[in-house]
Every structure is written in C-alpha cells, then in structure tokens.
Amino acid sequence: MDKLEGGLDYLKEVIIHDRIGICEALESEMESLVGTFECEWKQVLEKPRLMKRFSHFVNSDETDDTIEYVPLRDQKMPKSW
C-alpha cells in the first residue's frame, strides 16, 4: 500500500468508481471464468478413464499390502512411517 502512488484513496477510485475504465472488462472475464469452471475432482469421479489414474501402481491392478491405514475424519489415511 505504501508503494502505491496515490495510496488508498487512488485504489478506492480505481475499484469503486472505475477511474481507469477496467470494471466492465473485469466483470466480463469473471463471468466467463465462472461460466466455464469445472471441478477436476468431480470429473474424476464421473469418468472411469480418469479414475484409473488413482491406483497404487499405474500398470497393474495389484495393491500394496505393506501400506497400513489409520482412520481420520471418517476416512482412511496411510499410517506414518
């Protein structure tokens, strides 16, 4: 803030009163971003080909019996070494 020429008053003018005329462009960009947002984790749950990436070994259906799990917030978590 101290390095901003014009200080807080200038910042208020830019943000609240659109002094440099960028508010419309920023609003448009935000609408586009919100309209095209997709949750990556939701996609993984809905697409089996993406879900395959989350296995112990990428090229095998084997599991790792040396990993121990402990409960954490009603989920399982690998036990610390």
**Sequence-separated (6 or more) residues with CB below 8 Å from residue 17:** none
pLDDT of 1 = 67
Helix (H, G, I), strand (E, B), or coil: what is residue 7?
Answer: helix
Lowest-pLDDT choice from 13-17, 58-62, 75-79: 58-62
pLDDT digits (tens, 9 = 90+) for 21-56: 999 999 999 999 999 999 999 999 999 888 888 777
pLDDT of 52 = 81
Exposure string over 34-65, b if 16+ CB within 10 A, otherwise e: eeeeeeeeeeeeeeeeeeeeeeeeeeeeeeee
pLDDT of 17 = 92
Q: In whole angstroms, give the CA distance from residue 4 to residue 16.
A: 17
Query: Greater confidence, 40 or 81?
Result: 40
Domain spans of the chain, in order of start: 1-52
